[in-house]
Amino acid sequence: MEVVIVPDAKAGGELIAEAVAQLLRRKPDALLGVATGSTPLPVYEALTAKVRAGELDASAARIAQLDEYVGLPAGHPESYRATVLREVVEPLGLGPGSFMGPDGSAEDVQAACAAYDAALASAGGVDLQLLGIGTDGHIGFNEPCSSLASRTRIKTLTEQTIKDNARFFDGDVGQVPRHVITQGIGTILEARHLVLLATGEGKADAVAATVEGPVAAVVPASALQRHPHATVVVDEAAASKLKLADYFRHTYTNKPEWQGL
Ligand code: F6R
């Protein structure tokens, strides 16, 4: 796992957007796995700026959703489908046909989960999966003690995650759905490159456990240690509890430029 410490969220967004741009120059129809929430917004903004400045042609890119609330009415503005369309697909000038995600309003949720797992595989797999991290160490919505081999399935959000996400529902925990469909940890680990972005002091404990703790289901993001190409980009605040911070700074400063992320 490579850990890159950046000064702030904007710098993290620009660094990751450049890695995505390099991927799209190499493979224009790459399948990009995207997360929602606050953390990835600087990445989407930086990517959109590159497209608008004519530095990047993202027109053939394909977008795959990481997770989805269960039970929100279709088109609800906080559904992750609506969020990804608004924050990624539309700003990049892509059509809805470029986008895939699980159906959170399906009657048969289990069938919808299996169908999404199969659709990801038949699309050739995710080339780069962008991840955020929960304060409890979740990735996607694989809450603590999720199986490290799990596939896309329904999960119940923890009380902490419901509280954390209430800000998207007028601060009302009662409006936050209790269930989600999430790519499983086993599914996420199949992406060819995992890039986790964490910003802010509130993520510092989860980042330290992910990077320097043991691989353990109680910290789902620690599964990244088992991936051959995982990059963790953290701002100074999120890095504040890393014992090896100076080592990570040293290795990144001395990294050959051609390697990219
Ligand atoms: C959302 C997702 C979650 C978030 C995490 C952090 O699609 O997969 O794992 O990345 O809850 O959320 P923020 O970035 O809002 O702190």
Q: Are 199 and 165 in contact (CB under 8 A)?
A: no
pLDDT confidence of residue 173: 97
Structure tokens at 54: 């004519």
Exactly one of 18, 68, 136, 164 is catalytic; name it: 136
The answer to the question of residue 261 being in a domain is: no
CATH of the domain at 8: 3.40.50.1360
CA dist 188 and 196 (Å) reads: 12
Atom of ligand 1 nearest to the CA of 203: 16
Per-residue pLDDT of the chain (261 residues), as tens digits, is: 999 999 999 999 999 999 999 999 999 999 999 999 999 999 999 999 999 999 999 999 999 999 999 999 888 999 999 999 999 999 999 988 899 999 999 999 999 999 999 999 999 999 999 999 999 999 999 999 999 999 999 999 999 999 999 999 999 999 999 999 999 999 999 999 999 999 999 999 999 999 999 999 999 999 999 999 999 999 999 999 999 999 999 999 999 998 989
* Overall pTM surpassing 0.75 (yes/no): yes
Query: Quick one: pLDDT at residue 96?
Result: 82
pLDDT at residue 86, as a whole number: 95
Residue 246 annotated as catalytic: no
Q: Whose CA is nearest to atom 9 of ligand 1?
A: 140
The protein residue with its alpha carbon nearest to ligand 1, atom 12, reads: 37
- Is 136 marked active-site? yes
Is 260 inside any structural domain? Answer: no
- In this structure, is residue 159 part of a structural domain? yes
Q: What is the pLDDT of residues 194-242, one digit of tens each?
A: 999 999 999 999 999 999 999 999 999 999 999 999 999 999 999 999 9
Spacing, Cα 11 to ligand 1 middle (Å): 19
Q: How far is the CA of 160 from the centre of ligand 1 (A)?
A: 12
Does 170 qualify as catalytic in the annotation? no
Residue 67 lies in a domain: yes
**Residue among 16, 32, 36 whose CB has most ligand 1 atoms within 8 A, to mutate:** 36
pLDDT at 75: 87
**67 belongs to the catalytic site:** yes
User: Tens of pLDDT along 17-34?
Assistant: 999 999 999 999 999 999
CA-to-CA dists, residue 141 to 40, 90, 92, 182, 235, angstroms: 15, 24, 25, 6, 22
**DSSP secondary structure of 155-197:** EEPPHHHHHHHGGGGTT-GGGS-SEEEE--HHHHTTSSEEEEE
Quick one: pLDDT at residue 33? 98
Q: How far is the CA of 115 from the centre of ligand 1 (A)?
A: 23
Given the residues 68, 127, 138, 164, the one annotated as active site? 138
CA distance 185 to 243: 26
Ligand 1 atom nearest to 182, measured from its CA: 8
Cα 39 to averaged position of ligand 1 atoms, centre (Å): 7
Contact (Cβ atoms closer than 8 angstroms) between residue 169 and residue 77:
no
CA 140 – ligand 1 centroid, Å:
7
Q: Which domain holds residue 68?
A: 2-255
What DSSP assignment string belongs to 105-123?
T-SSHHHHHHHHHHHHHHT
The percentage of residues in the chain with a pLDDT greater than 90, rounded to a whole number, is: 95
Number of domains in the chain: 1
Q: List residues near ligand 1 (CB under 6 A).
A: 35-39, 66-67, 132-134, 138-140
